[in-house]
């Protein structure tokens, strides 16, 4: 335990349980267990176990090298012919469904466990909310969108390199994914997040451990006022951080769910612009 | 939040300071003063030149018709010289404008870096922000300057313009055999997505412990208090590992820098070192593709 | 949020307090986020549905599927119906005139092309009439009098008849050389070129419009504006030329394509493959590729992965080893485009001698946004053309067939 930890564990034990939170207040070493921890553990081990078994021992493309198999192996989703039905025939993608199910439960339980711990520590729930955003991406891509399109085959194969392959093909399937507006917004926020992170990390590191020289956050403020005209402040930067990161993921959800359902050609999507009513009368059309 | 406007002996700042009331409680409300300085003036001048040249280039494509300009702004593009020009100074209409605009853009970025360096030092801070910016600058240079020079063709640099950039990303990837298989690209994406993850984690953590004063990070680094303790325990109990108020910012800077540097390496190694990343992946055995799909 | 009663007093200097204002701000943000998402979604859906009105092809079905399986042809009647058109029939006047003619001439007077390519049974006027009213009339959307002098069906009074005869020869020659040899998997039917295949129910369509004055309305159907479609400015800067000038964006045939020839092994690169050590610097070739590829996307209404393995565009085989027949077929078809552009269109007579040259052929001309051209036909037994050693119109350049790409084993 950390030097100060004991009193917080004490405090946590005194927080009354409510609904599914606060049950099984046990720590295994440094990890908190809780009811949701048990769920996450069980389904996590189950799902991972099946994945490793499939990739290392069953995948028809496996080589003699387990490390290489780890990178290139995959579990295939069900073929398009079965649609949304769940067949218990291993060759028809059953194990994909199984692992996706286990993973979904595990991720959900992980999020609930974060809520549990936040509650015990009497802090806000921003962390599980942020995790919830990423969890929603998983659900959108592997479950929601396949259901909308009526085929499990629309989900991605469970494999390190194969899911990259799938992503590449997915983009090209819709002609040119760069023209997807929600993809563009998501990417802007994604690169923006990296930018903000870089700024924030560098800023704090530039001012840290210089108290003896009289450096306070006032110096940081002045630095930002000088070169940029605006200093967002120590609270503001963390709000910006949280919202930029969470929104990037939520916008990306949209970019996925709209492809194949409503829009087939993101390049041609923008053709409406040239024929918009506000350009009439200028002699362009 | 200090509201006094301060001056140094010979460098000037804008006088007025405004407050955005709407942001109260969310972020700092003060806007301004901003500092000009020599490097700022140079950067501004250089940037305006770049914008002007690009605007001329765009204007020519729409016959200087302002309505048409607005209508076609997203697709207007200033192209680099064709491959036949190599690294020469091309005629203005055949990529010369692009060369000038890029020259001034590059100068702007260099001036900007020096500006933030001098400002950091003048305000008593370590120059970590300009160092971080240099990583992004390295990526910019790799794409716009180093790679084109290495392959002897300005044509391989991105055009200026929204559509031009989107075209370039697509074509560069297609030309070099699908960038998804470029291991440095993979590393860079790991850094990019990892950065977003760390940003969400850190932002969420601080917001969750605002009431305990965790946002006063510089103080918390000197002496960690209840806010930091609760944040650390949150992550320790969740995932068995926690950073400190100081080290989380090292993680942050590290991931963001990894994104830019790995990306730059990915671009630099394309062409002379490896012309087809997919075939490289085939040779490395990391792709499950069958032999027939790996035929060069 | 955390219950207020369990909350300790904030330490001095704390900026944020979880008071009502903070809570309402956060809730406001969440509600705003949800509202924006719904509005944005609604906006995208609205735009997409509005798009479906003027886009020529039937928009947002998934005829392109990642796992391609069993493409069905859109019936030509259905294709016309979606454009609020019906299958053209001979007019009452024409039918009457034909009946008179048929009585007077039960054997044809000067039919040459049909008998040569389809057989002697086409010496019967009735047989010829049946063939023409099945294929010619609906194909170009015109009744008999468009080409024929109704008092003398054999006469070449109207230039349209001269043009039609030349086009008929072109049709059979292309069928024999290119369509009959198309690489295809077992079970895929062999279609026939007919007038409808290119004309799609119109006597003059945009391909036959003077290429110096194409109407914007027709270009719009091709998705000229926005997206990945290049403008003339783009073409110029990427060095793509046709007869020394930047082609219009719908012209996939360019100088490079016209010059490509198979080598001794039958290998030919109509579109420069851009991923090996010999590739010269510059992105021009890639741009040319991509512009042409986007045309194919639009013309067949399929995503790139219909023909390609997305991981490696050059490959004819997917990662799992499945042979990509559409890529092989597309390559073959591009050869046909070259043939039409070099040998046939330049030799086609024009109804108006003052009109400019025919526009170059492209994938859209026949495919019109479908994988199987709606105007293609599955032939009856006596409608299958045979090889003819001495066609009336000979190719200007003898273009050897490229060696087809086929699955190994």
Nearest chain A residue to B26 by CA distance is: A236
The pLDDT, as a whole number, for residue C10 is: 58
Q: Which chains touch C (3 or more CB pairs under 8 A)?
A: A, B
The pLDDT > 70 percentage for chain A reads: 97
* Surface of B (277-296) touching A: CB under 8 A: 281, 285-288, 290
- Cα B250 from Cα B262, distance rounded (Å): 17
User: Is residue C392 helix, strand or coil?
Assistant: coil
- Cα B131 from Cα B115, distance rounded (Å): 12
**Least Cα separation, residue C335 to chain B (angstroms):** 23
The pLDDT, as a whole number, for residue C222 is: 47
- Cα B163 from Cα B142, distance rounded (Å): 20
pLDDT-flagged residues of chain B (< 70): 1-12, 15
**Least Cα separation, residue C321 to chain B (angstroms):** 6
C-beta separation of C312 from B289 below 8 A: yes
The pLDDT, as a whole number, for residue C49 is: 60
The pLDDT, as a whole number, for residue C216 is: 46
In 3D space, the residue among B219, B244, B218 whose CA is nearest the CA of residue A4 turns out to be B244
Q: For residue B79, with 0-12 CB atoms within 10 Å meaning exposed, 13-18 middle and 19 or more buried, which class applies? A: buried
Inform me whether the C-beta atom of residue C226 falls under 8 Å from chain B C-beta atoms.
yes
User: 């023909």: which residue's tokens?
Assistant: C307
User: Is domain B35-130 classified as CATH 1.20.85.10?
Assistant: yes
Written as six digits, the tokens of B257 are: 């820098």
- Measured between CB atoms, which of B67, B128, B252 is closest to A197? B252
User: H or E stretch including B31?
Assistant: strand B30-31
The pLDDT, as a whole number, for residue B295 is: 84
**Least Cα separation, residue C306 to chain A (angstroms):** 8
Interval A58-75 mean pLDDT: 89
What pLDDT digit, counting tens, does each position of A125-139 carry?
Answer: 999 999 999 999 999
Please provide the average confidence, as pLDDT, over all residues in chain A. 90
pTM for this structure?
Answer: 0.87
- Chain B residues whose beta carbon lies within 8 Å of the beta carbon of residue C320: 290
- Cα B290 from Cα A61, distance rounded (Å): 8
Alpha-carbon separation of residue B236 from A30, A127, B83, B114, B211 (angstroms): 6, 13, 56, 40, 20
B184-294: which CATH number, 1.20.85.10, 1.10.10.60, 3.90.1170.50, 2.60.120.10? 1.20.85.10
Alpha-carbon separation of residue A37 from A76, A113, A125, A138 (angstroms): 29, 6, 17, 20
The pLDDT, as a whole number, for residue B242 is: 94
The pLDDT, as a whole number, for residue B291 is: 87
- Measured between CB atoms, which of C18, C290, C321 is closest to B290? C321
The pLDDT, as a whole number, for residue C277 is: 77
Written as six digits, the tokens of A160 are: 């390190």
**Least Cα separation, residue C212 to chain B (angstroms):** 20
What pLDDT digit, counting tens, does each position of C150-193 carry?
Answer: 999 999 999 999 999 999 999 999 999 999 999 988 888 889 99
What pLDDT digit, counting tens, does each position of A147-170 carry?
Answer: 988 889 899 999 999 999 899 888
- Measured between CB atoms, which of B215, B226, B275 is closest to C276? B275
C-beta separation of B233 from A5 below 8 A: yes
Residue intervals in chain B for CATH 1.20.85.10 = 35-130, 184-294
ipTM of the prediction: 0.93
- Cα B263 from Cα B3, distance rounded (Å): 41
What pLDDT digit, counting tens, does each position of A79-123 carry?
Answer: 888 888 888 876 778 999 999 999 999 999 999 999 999 999 999
CA A85-A91-A97 angle, 5° bins: 45
10-residue stretch averages of pLDDT, chain C, 409 residues long? 45 56 72 79 68 42 41 80 86 94 92 92 93 93 93 92 94 95 88 92 69 48 48 80 81 90 90 77 88 83 84 88 91 95 91 76 86 89 90 91 88
Inform me whether the C-beta atom of residue C185 falls under 8 Å from chain B C-beta atoms.
no
């Amino acid at each position: 335990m950390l030097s100060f930890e004991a009193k917080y564990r004490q405090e946590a034990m005194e927080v009354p349980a409510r609904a599914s939170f606060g049950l099984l207040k046990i720590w295994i070493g440094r990890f908190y267990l809780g009811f949701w921890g048990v769920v996450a553990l069980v389904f996590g081990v189950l799902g991972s176990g099946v994945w490793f078994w499939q990739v290392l021992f069953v995948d028809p493309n496996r080589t003699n090298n387990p490390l290489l198999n780890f990178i290139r192996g995959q579990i295939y989703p069900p073929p398009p012919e079965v649609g949304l039905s769940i067949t218990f025939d291993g060759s028809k993608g059953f194990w994909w469904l199984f692992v996706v199910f286990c993973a979904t439960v595990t991720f959900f339980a992980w999020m609930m466990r974060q809520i549990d711990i936040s509650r015990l520590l009497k802090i806000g729930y921003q962390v599980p909310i942020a995790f919830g955003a990423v969890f929603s991406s998983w659900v959108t891509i592997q479950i929601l969108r396949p259901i909308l399109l009526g085929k499990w085959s629309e989900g991605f194969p469970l494999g390190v390199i194969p899911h990259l392959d799938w992503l590449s093909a997915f983009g090209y399937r819709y002609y040119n994914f760069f023209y997807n507006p929600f993809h563009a917004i998501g990417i802007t926020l994604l690169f923006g997040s990296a930018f903000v992170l870089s700024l924030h990390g560098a800023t704090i590191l530039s001012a840290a451990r210089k108290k003896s020289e009289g450096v306070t956050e006032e110096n940081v403020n002045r630095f930002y006022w000088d070169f940029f005209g605006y200093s967002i402040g120590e609270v503001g930067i963390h709000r910006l951080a949280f919202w930029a990161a969470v929104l990037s993921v939520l916008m990306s959800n949209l970019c996925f769910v709209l492809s194949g359902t409503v829009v087939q050609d993101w390049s041609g999507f923008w053709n409406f612009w040239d024929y918009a009513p506000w350009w009439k009368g200028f002699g362009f059309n | 939040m200090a509201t006094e406007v301060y001056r140094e002996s010979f460098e000037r700042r804008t006088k007025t300071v405004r407050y955005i009331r709407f942001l109260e409680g969310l972020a700092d409300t003060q806007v301004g003063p901003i500092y000009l300085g020599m490097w700022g003036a140079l950067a501004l001048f250089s940037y305006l030149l770049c914008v002007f040249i690009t605007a001329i280039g765009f204007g020519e494509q729409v016959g200087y018709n302002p309505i048409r300009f607005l209508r076609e702004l997203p697709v207007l593009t200033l192209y680099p010289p064709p491959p036949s020009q190599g690294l020469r100074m091309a005629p203005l209409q055949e990529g010369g404008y692009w060369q000038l605009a890029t020259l001034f853009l590059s100068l702007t970025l260099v001036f900007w870096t020096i500006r933030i360096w001098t400002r950091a030092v003048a305000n008593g801070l370590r120059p970590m922000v300009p160092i971080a910016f240099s990583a992004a600058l390295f990526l910019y240079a790799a794409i716009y300057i180093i790679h084109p020079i290495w392959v002897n063709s300005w044509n391989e640099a991105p055009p200026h313009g929204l559509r031009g950039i989107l075209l370039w990303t697509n074509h560069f990837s297609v030309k070099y055999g699908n960038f998804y298989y470029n291991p440095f690209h993979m590393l860079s994406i790991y850094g990019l997505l990892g950065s977003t993850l760390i940003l969400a984690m850190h932002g969420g953590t601080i917001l969750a412990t605002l009431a305990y004063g965790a946002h006063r990070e510089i103080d918390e680094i000197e002496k960690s208090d209840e806010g930091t303790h609760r944040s650390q325990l949150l992550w320790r109990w969740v995932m068995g590992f926690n950073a400190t108020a100081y080290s989380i910012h090292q993680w942050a800077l590290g991931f963001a820098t990894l994104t830019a540097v790995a990306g730059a390496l990915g671009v630099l190694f394309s062409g002379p070192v490896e012309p087809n990343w997919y075939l490289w992946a085939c040779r490395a055995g990391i792709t499950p593709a069958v032999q027939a799909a790996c035929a060069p | 949020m955390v219950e207020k009663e369990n909350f300790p007093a904030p330490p001095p200097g704390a900026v944020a307090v979880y008071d009502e204002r903070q809570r309402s701000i956060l809730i406001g943000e969440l509600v705003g986020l949800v509202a924006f998402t719904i509005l944005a979604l609604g906006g995208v859906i609205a735009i997409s549905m509005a798009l479906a009105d003027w886009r020529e092809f039937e928009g947002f079905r998934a005829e392109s599927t990642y796992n391609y399986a069993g493409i069905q042809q859109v019936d030509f009647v259905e294709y016309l119906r979606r454009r609020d058109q019906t299958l053209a029939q001979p007019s009452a006047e024409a039918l009457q005139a034909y009946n008179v003619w048929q009585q007077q001439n039960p054997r044809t007077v000067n039919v040459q092309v049909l008998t040569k390519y389809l057989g002697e049974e086409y010496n019967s006027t009735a047989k010829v009439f049946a063939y023409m009213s099945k294929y010619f009339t609906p194909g170009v959307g015109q009744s008999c009098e468009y080409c024929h002098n109704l008092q003398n069906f054999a006469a070449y009074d109207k230039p349209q008849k001269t043009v039609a005869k030349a086009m008929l020869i072109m049709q059979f020659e292309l069928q024999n050389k290119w369509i009959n040899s198309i690489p295809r998997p077992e079970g895929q039917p062999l279609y026939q070129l007919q007038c409808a295949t290119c004309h799609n129910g119109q006597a003059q369509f945009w391909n036959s419009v003077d290429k110096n004055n194409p109407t914007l309305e027709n270009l719009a159907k091709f998705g000229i504006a926005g997206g990945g479609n290049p403008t003339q400015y783009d073409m110029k800067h990427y060095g793509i030329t046709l007869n020394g000038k930047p082609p219009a964006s719908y012209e996939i045939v360019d100088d490079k394509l016209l010059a490509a020839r198979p080598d001794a092994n039958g290998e030919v690169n109509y579109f420069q493959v851009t991923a090996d050590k010999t590739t010269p610097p510059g992105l021009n070739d890639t741009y040319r590729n991509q512009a042409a590829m986007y045309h194919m996307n639009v013309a067949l209404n399929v995503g790139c992965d219909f023909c390609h393995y997305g991981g490696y565009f050059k490959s004819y085989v997917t990662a799992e080893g499945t042979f990509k027949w559409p890529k092989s077929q597309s390559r073959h078809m591009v050869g046909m485009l070259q043939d039409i552009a070099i040998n046939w269109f330049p030799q086609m007579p024009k109804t108006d001698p003052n009109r400019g040259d025919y526009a170059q052929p492209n994938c859209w001309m026949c495919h019109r946004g479908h994988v199987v051209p709606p105007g293609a036909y599955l032939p009856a037994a006596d409608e299958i053309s045979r090889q003819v050693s001495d066609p009336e119109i000979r190719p200007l350049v003898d273009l050897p067939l490229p060696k087809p790409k086929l699955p190994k084993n």
